[in-house]
Amino acid sequence: MEKTLYLDKKSRCIGLERLAYPKRCRRSAGGRGPMTGQIGAVVDLRCMATTTLVPVEAYLRTSYDPDMEYVDGTLLERHVGERKHSRLQLLLGAELALREQGKFHTYTEQRVRVLPQPRYRVPDLCVMALPYQRESVFSHPPHLIIEILSPDDEPAEMLEKIADYLKFGVPHIWIPDPYRHRLQVAGRDGLHDQPDLIVESGLAGRLDFAELFAKLDDPSE
């Protein structure tokens, strides 16, 4: 099955194959790098894993540790658990919680139904503007989604996830990389670097990731 993704035009990949277990697959070209660019390129992935479809009802009544995403009947692992990823997620959650002030709520690893196929994503953090419908699984777009990159993340997998968020109508998507001290922002015109490491949204306000990255490298951490 072929799907088009957002990808850096410098990539020479051609074609995409739906994967049941992306963690075990490899890219056909290129390595892990910045995901900047416009819409139009595609990615070629090959995987020998056998797809086992899982009913959506089974997914919704099952708890996983860490939680998994659900895409077109398959369970997708999330790359979590390393120190910098975990610490940045906590720092971001704490900072956003201080800014709520009756304007929004902050969630970590909250299931979100992004497309009716169905597809369920589990962003590292999301911000819901008040008021919003209180659901066990969100079915309305958050104001902001933050996906923290991990060393094992494949660009094609992350780009597909970002494409889902954009189709869902999420207006703000931030992608920090605590290992390379990079920050990217996703929009309808693609992915863009934020060299000054500063982002802002109407609800969450201005956030300086340079300060957060510095805390990760502090000897006392």
What pLDDT is recorded for position 34?
Answer: 57
Residue 103 sits at the vertex; the CA angle it makes with 134 and 132, to the nearest 5 degrees, is 20
Question: Three-class SS of residue 203?
Answer: coil
CA distance 193 to 24: 28
Q: How many CA atoms lie within 13 A of 154 on its CB side?
A: 22
| Other beta carbons less than 10 A from residue 3's beta carbon | 13
Span 68-86, average pLDDT = 92
Burial per residue of 148-164, b for 16 or more beta-carbon CB atoms within 10 angstroms, e otherwise: bbbeebbbbbbbbbbbb
pLDDT interval class at 80 (50, 70, 90): confident
Cα 50 to Cα 25, 54, 70, distances in angstroms? 12, 13, 16
What pLDDT is recorded for position 200?
Answer: 96
Cα 197 to Cα 48, 103, 108, 146, distances in angstroms? 39, 24, 22, 14
Tell me: the pLDDT tens digits for 135-147?
Answer: 999 999 999 999 9
- Do 156 and 16 touch, CB atoms closer than 8 A? yes
pTM as predicted: 0.78
- Do 113 and 81 touch, CB atoms closer than 8 A? no
CA distance 67 to 53: 17
Tell me: the pLDDT tens digits for 180-197?
Answer: 999 999 988 889 999 999
Helix, strand, coil percentages (3-state) for the chain, rounded to 5, are 20, 25, 50
Range 22-217: architecture per CATH: Alpha-Beta Complex (3.90)
What pLDDT is recorded for position 29?
Answer: 37
Of residues 71 and 33, which shows the higher confidence score?
Answer: 71
Domain positions in the chain? 22-217
